[in-house]
Amino acid sequence: MISIHSRETKWRLSKIALLATCCGMLAWTMPANANTTPASGQIEAGRKIYNFRCYFCHGYSGNAQTVAASFLNPPPVDFTRADPAKFTQEHIVSVLKSGKPGTAMQSFRSVLNETEMEQLAAFVEDEFVHRKAPNTHYHTPENGWKNHQRYWAAFPFATGEIPVDRPWNQLTKVQARGKHLFLASCVICHDHGHTASDVATWEATPLSYPRNNYSNSTPSTPAPPKPDAMASASPYLLHEIPPRVTGLTALERKGEKLFQGNCAFCHAADGTGKNWIGSFLIPHPRNLRDPAFMDTMTRTRLTATIREGLPGSSMPAWKSVLSEQEIAAVVAYVAKAFHPLPD
C-alpha cells in the first residue's frame, strides 16, 4: 500500500522520479485521426512530444492530477491554472532549457532540440494555458486499447465520480470490482481522480502497456471486469514473478523484501530487468542473471553502486534511502537469488 505520510515515502519518491525520467522513453503513439494540417503543424508536433514525455507528471489534460503529482513536492505545474500573461511560449522554452531548481523538473537540453522545445511550448500554451482543452484521448485502438469500454467499472474512479478512497464496505459489488481494477492496474499511470481524504492510499501494481499484440479477447457485451481482467495484456508479466528461493538466511530474507519492494521496480522481480519499466529505460537496468556481466561483479562493487548510483544511467544513489545494513541485505539476496558473488 502507498501512503503519502508513510515512512516508505522516500523510496517511493525515488520510484516516481525514476519513472518520470523513463516516461520520455515510452513510445506512446498518436491516434491516426490527429489534426496535422499545416496551420496546426507546430502545435500537433508539440502534442506528440508532450504525450511522449510530459504526461506522467503533468497529466494528459495538463492539470497535474496525476499519481506522480501526489508524491512530488513541490508538485508539477498545473498548466490550466497558469497565468497566461506569465506562462508564455518563451517562458516555457526557458524552463525546458534550464529546468526548475528545487523541483523534479529537470533540463531537457540533452533530450529535445531547439525546434522541439518550441513545438512543445506552443502546444502547452495553446492547449492548456489558453484553451484548457482535454488533449488527445489516449485509450484508443490506435494506441493498443481495443474495446477499452470493457473496463467500464473502473471509469468512475478515474473520472472522480467515485472517490478512490471510498471504503470498500460502501461500494456495490460492481463498484468494488472497478476499484480493485483501478487500484491494481490503472492508477500508476492514470490521473488518480478524486479522493475524499488528503491521505490517499492505494495499491501500486502497474499494468504493463499492451504492446506486441498482447490483448484480452473482446466480449460481445461489456461486463464487470474480474480483478485480473487486464493481466494478459502484458508480455512482461512473467518477469514480475519473484523467484522461489529456499534456505534464505535472515539477512537474505530481509534483502528479498527490500529488493522486491524497491529494486524490482526497474530490475524486475526476477532480476532480469525485462519488465515494462526496465525494457524502456535507456540504458536498460542491469540483468542481474546475466553471467556475462555478473561474472565480473563483486559484493563490494555492487554495494558501492547501490550506495552511490551509476552516473550516465537511471540507477540512483540509495544511500539516503537505505541504510548500510539494508544495502548489505540487498547484496546478499542478489548473490543468493540471481548470481553468486565473491567479496
Of 201-210, 253-262, 283-292, 300-309, which gets the smallest average pLDDT? 201-210
Can you give the residue ranges of every domain in the chain? Answer: 2-130, 147-212+222-234, 240-337
Of 126 and 343, more confident: 126
Q: What pLDDT, in 10s, does the model give residues 14-29?
A: 554 455 444 444 433 3
Element (H, E) at 85: none
Let me know if the fold of 2-130 is the same as that of 240-337.
Answer: yes
Tracing cell 537505505 back to the chain, one arrives at 322
Q: What pLDDT, in 10s, does the model give residues 59-85?
A: 888 988 776 676 677 889 999 999 999
Structure confidence at residue 287 (pLDDT):
96
Q: For the structural domain made of 240-337, what CATH number should be given?
A: 1.10.760.10
| Separation between Cα atoms, residue 179 and residue 201, nearest integer Å | 12
Residue 272: pLDDT band with limits 50, 70, 90: very high
pTM for this prediction: 0.50
- For the chain, the average pLDDT equals 76
| Separation between Cα atoms, residue 293 and residue 273, nearest integer Å | 13
Cis peptide before 163 (omega within 30 of 0): no
Structure confidence at residue 284 (pLDDT):
83
Q: For the structural domain made of 2-130, what CATH number should be given?
A: 1.10.760.10
Nearest 5°: the CA angle 290, 311, 259 is 50
Q: What pLDDT, in 10s, does the model give residues 205-246?
A: 444 333 333 333 333 333 444 434 444 344 667 788 899 999
3-state secondary structure of 71: helix
